[in-house]
Amino acid sequence: MKNLIFFSFLFCLLTLTSCASEGTQTSEATVSETNPVRIISLSGTLTEILYALDYGDQIVGVDVTSSYPAEARSKPQMGHISQLNVEGLLAAQPDIIFVDAEQADNQALNTVKEAGVNVVAVPMRSTLDNAVYATEAIAEVLEVPETAKSKIENQVKEGSAALAELVAGRQERPRVLFIYARGAGRIMVAGKNTDAAAIIEIAGGQNAITSFEDFKPLTPEALVEAAPEVILMFTSGLESLDGKAGLASIPGIAETPAYKQDRIIAMDGHYLISFGPRQAEAAQELAKRLFPNVSK
Amino acid sequence: MSLDRKLLLGLSLLLVALLGLGIFAGAYDLDAASLWNALLGRGERLEQFLVWEVRIPRLLLAAIVGGGLAITGAATQGLFRNPLAEPTLIGVTSGAMLFAVIMLVLSAVLLPAMPKWVQQAGVSIAAFVGALSTTAIVYRLAAGRSRLNVATMLLAGIAVAALAGAITGLLIYQSSDSQLRDITFWTLGSLGGANWTQVVVALPVVVIGGYFLCRDALALNAFLLGEKEAEKLGFRVDRIKRRVIIWTALLVGVCISLTGLIGFVGLIIPHLLRLWLGTDYRRLLLFSGLLGASFLLAADTLARTVVAPAELPIGILTALVGAPFFLWLLLRERSKNFLSL
């Protein structure tokens, strides 16, 4: 019986591999010198930029953070950057792999490099013009047309100008607490030097937490002490707590000025802190919601 | 043919079959012909690289680590005369974890200018040092000036593990976002980084260590009667205990320093065989090693194929595959009361 199961498994596997290899042969035929380079993007921000530069069709694999644009989600999923499958990457037969420079040194990527794939580490910064610098880094390995480059530059420039107008002359800077939640058991708040703190300040607020760096678990006392006037969350984070009602059931939240005045802002996670081409627009939206009386 | 020979042959064949299956399976589709060419060093360069530098080292490392974890699991169960014993109990796992986390958190400070592979080797070496030194501390605590008391060692192991766990938690609290991710994935275990260096480091330790553990099988059998009785039968109990602990720490230290924490193999494999064969360490140790190798190899083959081109953390799969199977066996054999060693 066991033998039977084993051999049927082996048989299935052999059939699968032979079918699949036919598929590979056809795709091999289409990849030649004249054909466009095959790209894997292991960063949501870079994926968004690559799509904006019109390289979407050449992307043959993305990571879990690549959620925008929606087409990116139907690309082959390479998983989380810390848990890459060398074979999976190579099977997509990429010419170039783009990765956030901070996460570029990892064993799987080193092996992929040995196999001859060009792994390009793009440095990232938490500024509105990050997309412009990232585009320049991409343009060093891909022949990006000037029109595409200037499209992103203009998008960032115009967005930043509009934001500056919006924030200009604001004296008060509301204290904003960013809460990262994945269910009631996993709640963290953003300290100094985080992407969340950066976007809060860019949009004209100030981070409610000044006593520590990075993300730390939330305590009720710290929450009361921080006395945030606004609470900022990812839409997905607020949903994981079952909305505002669930948020209120977390000790300390109901005591904050933010909750009492119902100033809870939820925005899409990738849109809010990816520092991609649409970052200035996201900052404008946040600024409008931080200063509601101005925007109306 | 005796039962032992049949089993030896059967388990070896299983291991070879799984190696064969493993070399076939993967996210990259290779048909039989190109696989054969790649094995012989012909054909496309990428495919040769894939087979020789990615697949084969990973298969071998999975088998070696699985074997090492299972055989030390069996040996610790014998040493403590306790069916729930695991290498965790002598402090080896928590020590490795603590030192690995220290290295992960401090590598930015200690080795900032070093390339990442030096930092990664640093984590492996730190984990290994942690495994050995924590075991040494637990051993010292239990042995004192007189003879080693395994019950004391068990309690000391639990206490030291709790302490190491607390310090680890403290470091995790202090760690940055990306360090936290590294730590999380380290504790889930992975064979994704397997290369020939790791195979060359692990193979001799596991094979030699496994051989010496098997040599003490008769003594472990005698331990079942109690330590005094074992002594009366002519075994030098203290020396044997020390030897088993040292080899266990070495084997487990090497395995988890290369792959991170992979749970369940050390606990489940010896029990599985105990259900079949009864408690005779002359069989149990060697066969645990062979079956453990096959088990982890199969689990890892699944880990890297089921969600291809991505992959699952191996620790999740060993528990996911192992636990229900083990429960089923447990329920089936409940009446036989096998847990009484």
Tokens of B70: 């299972």
- What is the mean predicted confidence (pLDDT) over A142-160? 94
Q: Are A277 and A156 in contact (CB under 8 A)?
A: yes
Smallest CA-to-CA distance from B50 within A12, A84, A88 is with A88
Residue B171 lies in a domain: yes
Work out the minimum CA distance from A36 to partner chain B, whole angstroms: 19
A78 and B CB contact within 8 Å = yes
Please identify among residues 299-338 of chain B the ones whose CB lies closer than 8 Å to any CB of chain A. Answer: 304, 307-313
Say yes or no to pLDDT of A43 above 90.
Answer: yes
pLDDT tens by residue, A227-239: 999 999 999 999 9
Residue B188 lies in a domain: yes
- Residues in chain B closer than 8 A to A108 (CB atoms): 192-193
Task: Mutation target for A interface from B13, B15, B31: give the one with most A CBs within 10 A.
Answer: B31
Cross-strand pairs, A99: A121
Residue of A nearest to B195 (CA): A111
pLDDT tens by residue, A48-84: 999 999 999 999 999 999 998 999 999 999 998 888 9
* Number of cross-chain residue pairs from A and B with Cβ atoms under 8 Å apart: 122
Query: In the CATH scheme, what is the homologous superfamily, with its name and number, of domain A35-152?
Result: Nitrogenase molybdenum iron protein domain (3.40.50.1980)
- What is the mean predicted confidence (pLDDT) over B2-21? 92
- CB count within 10 Å of CB A105 equals 15
pLDDT tens by residue, B45-56: 889 999 999 999
How does residue B58 score in pLDDT terms, banded at 50, 70 and 90?
very high
pLDDT tens by residue, A178-216: 999 888 778 889 999 999 999 999 999 999 998 888 888
Specify the pLDDT at position B145.
67
How does residue B195 score in pLDDT terms, banded at 50, 70 and 90?
confident
Residue B153 lies in a domain: yes
- Residues in chain B closer than 8 A to A83 (CB atoms): 185, 190, 192, 310-313
Say yes or no to pLDDT of A295 above 50.
Answer: no
A171 and B CB contact within 8 Å = no
Specify the pLDDT at position B146.
67
State what percent of residues in chain A have pLDDT above 90: 63
Residue B341 lies in a domain: no
A90 and B24: CB-CB below 8 Å? no
Residue B198, CA distances (Å) to A149, B59, B176, B193 in order: 45, 12, 28, 9
Specify the pLDDT at position B337.
56
Please identify among residues 37-96 of chain B the ones whose CB lies closer than 8 Å to any CB of chain A. Answer: 45-46, 49-50, 53-55
Specify the pLDDT at position A230.
95
Specify the pLDDT at position A182.
85
A82 and B313: CB-CB below 8 Å? no
B309 and A80: CB-CB below 8 Å? no
pLDDT tens by residue, B292-328: 999 999 999 999 998 888 888 888 888 887 888 778 8
Count of structural domains, chain B? 1
Q: Are A134 and A45 in contact (CB under 8 A)?
A: yes
- What is the mean predicted confidence (pLDDT) over B33-42? 88
Tell me the average pLDDT of chain A: 86
Residue B313 lies in a domain: yes
- What is the mean predicted confidence (pLDDT) over A236-249? 90
- Residues in chain A closer than 8 A to B21 (CB atoms): 10, 13
How does residue B209 score in pLDDT terms, banded at 50, 70 and 90?
very high
- What is the mean predicted confidence (pLDDT) over A138-145? 94
Specify the pLDDT at position A121.
95
Say yes or no to pLDDT of B38 above 50.
Answer: yes
Residue A111, CA distances (Å) to A237, B73, B296 in order: 35, 32, 22
- Residues in chain B closer than 8 A to A106 (CB atoms): 116
Residue A41 phi, psi (nearest 5): -115, 125
How does residue B89 score in pLDDT terms, banded at 50, 70 and 90?
confident
- What is the mean predicted confidence (pLDDT) over B195-223? 93
Residue B232 lies in a domain: yes
- Residues in chain A closer than 8 A to B182 (CB atoms): 82
Specify the pLDDT at position A11.
44
Residue B50 lies in a domain: yes
Residue A250 phi, psi (nearest 5): -80, 125
B27 and A91: CB-CB below 8 Å? yes
Helices assigned H by DSSP within chain B: 3-24, 32-39, 45-49, 56-80, 92-110, 116-143, 150-174, 177-188, 196-215, 217-223, 227-232, 237-259, 265-277, 281-305, 314-332
Please identify among residues 236-295 of chain B the ones whose CB lies closer than 8 Å to any CB of chain A. Answer: none
Specify the pLDDT at position A7.
46
Tokens of A231: 């609470």
Specify the pLDDT at position A24.
39
The CATH number of the structural domain formed by A169-290 is 3.40.50.1980
Say yes or no to pLDDT of A20 above 50.
Answer: no
Quickly tell me which residue has 């064993």 as its tokens.
A107
The domain of B202 spans 3-336
Specify the pLDDT at position B43.
81
Specify the pLDDT at position B111.
66
The residues of chain A that CATH labels 3.40.50.1980 are 35-152, 169-290
Specify the pLDDT at position A128.
94
B192 and A84: CB-CB below 8 Å? yes
A17 and B311: CB-CB below 8 Å? no
Specify the pLDDT at position B171.
87
What does the angle CA A16 – CA A17 – CA A20 come to, to the nearest 5 degrees?
85
Say yes or no to pLDDT of A18 above 90.
Answer: no
- Residues in chain B closer than 8 A to A88 (CB atoms): 27-28, 304, 308-311
B182 and A CB contact within 8 Å = yes
> Kind and range of the H or E element at A98?
strand A96-100
Q: Are B105 and B174 in contact (CB under 8 A)?
A: yes
Specify the pLDDT at position A21.
39
